[in-house]
Chains A and B, each alone.
Chain A
């Protein structure tokens, strides 16, 4: 009886959350009423419905000047129409690329300043979450150089428990008129990178932002192990090895990566080893290995209920 009562209470409060100022409510993860039990307590405002992709904490409120926006928009219109024309002509020509086994395509190179502008550098110090800083610059041999300083000190604001990350991420794939689009890599099986690292392990992130708020933060991760030393290395990582995480938490329910729905790619430097780091990147591309048939490298067993940690 008590459980049922608690259950109904939690759902009513979930639906009434616009009126209530309550932040914390127990959330039930049980499947049927019989076995319901509160397993964790999370702020409902952050878990049931999200207003903002950046989260309330990181939204910067700026005063918008509509006149400036319009001026900028009209200036952009010319480029967008040009882009749209190209898209249309491509559509009517209908000459899709055909890939054969062992074909690769280089998607990003880092040899000019303009190309580096397609990447966004972020680190915890940007949001006053920490003290790391990083930069993506042109190295002296005309390659991209992702470098900076990883700092694991935690700011003493009483809220943050861990700190220390640096990240680069490419701009989202888009179509004309600033419409969102995706990278479609269904023909490919591997991600290839030509890099020169410092011996640290980096995290590769393939973002697959979805339509609903629960899918906004879907990121598929895999580790990029680097060698220190003067030699370049080519890392060839199967897409099947990328695993799903959301908001930095590896998900219990995994799924193969939807290769036609990739929105961004990023590289993170984080961990418990503070200090300077640098990763020189020649190119990032995709590769089609005809012999690679694996769809997803992780187990997908449906474990019987209430068996944890197997």
Chain B
């Protein structure tokens, strides 16, 4: 009797109810994977309760009896140790049914406003946002999105905020004005402000009556925020600080009424020595002594107001200090770290819009008797743009989900990854869209050149991508370094630890041959149709850990000085996080059967294959070291150029014989 294997197993499985045992290969979900499940249950419970409540009360009740937050180890940091929190592969479900309906209603209203009332071209030409447009935004409540309801804001959580950012980013200038106001400008009061400060400033900021700005950058201090020179000197009566100094490139600097200013303060330490440290202050324009320079004429985001701000003996009462004396640097970093995640959804927002216009053009434009859409190189571009947008969108909402569902989330690294990835994807994707449009894209009649100019700032502000790459890899290495201290010490003295060395060599032989042993069973945590991509992800995680170990063993503490290697580590980590987000989202979509879910699965495979290719390349470069991977050449070439103060090669027409 020849029985087909599958038929046989299906036959056996049907016998199971009769108590007959059988072995069958099925994926197991471990019990700890049910964390999200609990979340779902809570959602179900909360919606039952809400049946009895109405309107605002209901929303209040929902907010108050939120899902209990889950405590989990930091995800991205642990990646550097090769530890992968599998639960993240269950894409977070943050909003319940009512919250989602509310949000969609809000999105619809804002979207209509942007489509009908906002003339981006005019804003760009005249380099100013019209007063009535700003008033409209204020009326919509967009100036107080994350401010709690009790202070008159919308009280949005990170996910809802990210969703609205998708729409507000349709105009770069407005997006930056809003971001400067609430993502950085007033974030300090939200995060570190005390009750009095919140009660005093937030209500007016929420309505947009007051606009906020964030003053950190100075002529001599950009990415190196610790080197600012603005001084705050305490008056004799110890009731007022006097601010003196210049801040440049301050978004909203000309229109803001409230400034979050960082300045040096002097205080005495326990040995009564004078120590300088950085503190943060809330400064009102009406305190006096504040002058704004003329608005800068910028390449992109032209409608947003950027100018320098001078402080000349501006008196600031002591109670306007954010946090304690010397907390300034911490406050600044907290503000910047918490604001970055929404850049992912912003980028996704306008890129989706642009992709639509581009696709329309590619379908209608006929060349060589064929529409552009049928040319393979155009198809490749469109597909790659799609994959990038999908990755950025998934990363942004995963990070927002983590911020919303975790207890005291440690997501600054994730947010930095989202920022780096999204800004680069935005620049590259718009450039490709423009390429598909050909000459039309270059014309000012189309929005592409404006978006290209607008998006260029994303790689520069809120921490340049270079600084953020260093941040990602250094924080990761620091986290790993604590655990790997002993390992690294032994690795660096192989002959003193022969047994350890031999053991490690054996372990590494697989990594050396690029045949990593997969033991995490990630394929069991996604839909079976994505199992192969999950294995690629697992491979990538193991490779990242190998790379970290290599670099730490090679350089130890001076790893800080090897930026090219750190950059590679950061790139690998970003790709791993992107793969994680993409897989988790595609798996969710496919499991619950969203529209075009199989398209998402295909995107996930395409993206993961490319990401794995990049990771393989980067880790190989790390393995080979500076003499093989060109790093040494880059350094030597650059040093010659710097010595020569410019291009050093002689002109090709030069003769040295006559």
Bound-complex Cα distance A96 to B527 (A): 36
Instruction: Check if B529 sits within 8 Å of A301, measured CB to CB.
Output: no
Instruction: Check if A301 sits within 8 Å of B10, measured CB to CB.
Output: no
- With A258-B4, A299-B527, A299-B528 known as contacts, the answer to whether A244 contacts B27 (CB < 8 A) is no
Q: Which of B13-21, B205-213, B246-254 contacts A (4 or more CB under 8 A)?
A: B13-21
Bound-complex Cα distance A244 to B11 (A): 12
Nearest CB in chain A: distance from B15 CB, A: 8
Chain A residues with Cβ below 8 Å from B590 are 297
Instruction: Check if B9 sits within 8 Å of A29, measured CB to CB.
Output: no
- The listed residue (A27, A240, A310) touching B37 by CB distance below 8 A is A310
The 9 lowest CB-CB distance pairs between A and B, nearest first, are A253-B13, A302-B26, A29-B17, A255-B10, A258-B6, A294-B529, A214-B14, A301-B29, A210-B7
A211, CB-defined interface residue at 8 Å: yes
- The listed residue (B6, B27, B532) touching A302 by CB distance below 8 A is B27
Most chain B CB within 10 A, of A214, A244, A293, is at A214
Chain B residues with Cβ below 8 Å from A261 are 4, 7
A124, CB-defined interface residue at 8 Å: no
Instruction: Check if B528 sits within 8 Å of A208, measured CB to CB.
Output: no
Instruction: Check if A260 sits within 8 Å of B4, measured CB to CB.
Output: yes
**CB<8 Å pairs between A and B, sample of 12:** A211-B7, A214-B15, A240-B529, A253-B13, A258-B4, A261-B4, A294-B601, A295-B528, A300-B26, A300-B27, A300-B528, A304-B29
Instruction: Check if A244 sits within 8 Å of B528, measured CB to CB.
Output: no
List B residues at the A interface (Cβ < 8 Å): 1, 3-4, 6-7, 9-11, 13-17, 19, 26-29, 31, 37, 527-529, 532, 590-591, 598, 601
Most chain A CB within 10 A, of B1, B27, B29, B591, is at B29
Chain B residues with Cβ below 8 Å from A244 are 10
- With A258-B6, A260-B4, A310-B37 known as contacts, the answer to whether A214 contacts B11 (CB < 8 A) is yes
Bound-complex Cα distance A32 to B37 (A): 27
Nearest CB in chain B: distance from A297 CB, A: 6
Nearest CB in chain A: distance from B38 CB, A: 12
Instruction: Check if A299 sits within 8 Å of B591, measured CB to CB.
Output: yes
Bound-complex Cα distance A208 to B4 (A): 11
- Closest A residue, CB atoms, query B41: A310
Instruction: Check if B27 sits within 8 Å of A253, measured CB to CB.
Output: no
Bound-complex Cα distance A249 to B4 (A): 22
- Closest B residue, CB atoms, query A36: B19
A67, CB-defined interface residue at 8 Å: no
Q: For residues 288 through 310 of chain A, which have their beta carbon under 8 Å from a beta carbon of chain B?
A: 293-297, 299-304, 310
Bound-complex Cα distance A161 to B658 (A): 107
Bound-complex Cα distance A256 to B528 (A): 12
One digit per residue, 1 when the CB lies within 8 angstroms of any chain B CB and 0 when it does not, for chain A 210-227 equals: 111011001000000000
- Closest A residue, CB atoms, query B33: A301
A2, CB-defined interface residue at 8 Å: no
- Closest B residue, CB atoms, query A31: B19
Chain B residues with Cβ below 8 Å from A258 are 4, 6-7
Q: A29-B17, A32-B19, A299-B591 are in contact. List 20 more A-B contacts (CB 8 A).
A: A210-B10, A210-B11, A211-B1, A211-B3, A212-B11, A214-B11, A214-B15, A253-B13, A253-B14, A253-B16, A255-B13, A256-B6, A294-B529, A294-B601, A297-B590, A300-B26, A300-B27, A301-B28, A302-B27, A304-B29
Nearest CB in chain A: distance from B290 CB, A: 59
Instruction: Check if A296 sits within 8 Å of B529, measured CB to CB.
Output: yes
Chain B residues with Cβ below 8 Å from A295 are 528-529
